[in-house]
């Protein structure tokens, strides 16, 4: 549970600091389905927390092997 909390906090901090980056004027690629239907923030939050938990959990298991 501690790992999920830490991952959630780091994901929220990443979102906050990414909001400070100014948007570019030219788009190279067309918008994704998440951008078009407005679910991109939720999708990135879920993905960020899940990816962090997986990587952190793997690291925890590796560090605690005998």
| Number of domains the chain contains | 1
Distances (CA, A) of 4 to 23, 28, 42, 47: 30, 34, 16, 13
Distance CA 59, CA 25 (A): 39
Tens-place pLDDT, residues 16-33? 888 888 877 777 888 888
28 inside domain = no
In a domain, 9, yes or no: yes
pTM, to two decimals: 0.65
Query: From CA 7, how far away is CA 1, in angstroms rounded?
Result: 10
Residue 25 lies in a domain: no
The answer to whether residues 11 and 49 touch, using CB atoms and an 8 Å cutoff, is: yes
Mean pLDDT on 10-16: 88
Residue 27 lies in a domain: no
* Max intra-chain CA distance, the chain: 53
Q: Which domain holds residue 48?
A: 2-18+33-63
In a domain, 59, yes or no: yes
Q: Which tens digit of pLDDT belongs to each residue from 33-65? A: 888 898 888 888 888 889 988 998 888 888 888
The single-letter DSSP state of residue 28 is: S
């Amino acid at each position: 549970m501690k790992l999920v909390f830490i991952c959630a906090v780091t994901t929220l901090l990443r979102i906050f600091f990414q909001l400070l980056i100014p948007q570019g004027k030219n788009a190279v690629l067309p918008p994704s389905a998440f951008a078009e239907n407005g679910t991109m923030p939720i999708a990135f939050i879920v993905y960020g927390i899940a990816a962090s938990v997986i990587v952190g959990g793997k690291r925890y298991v590796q560090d605690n092997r005998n």
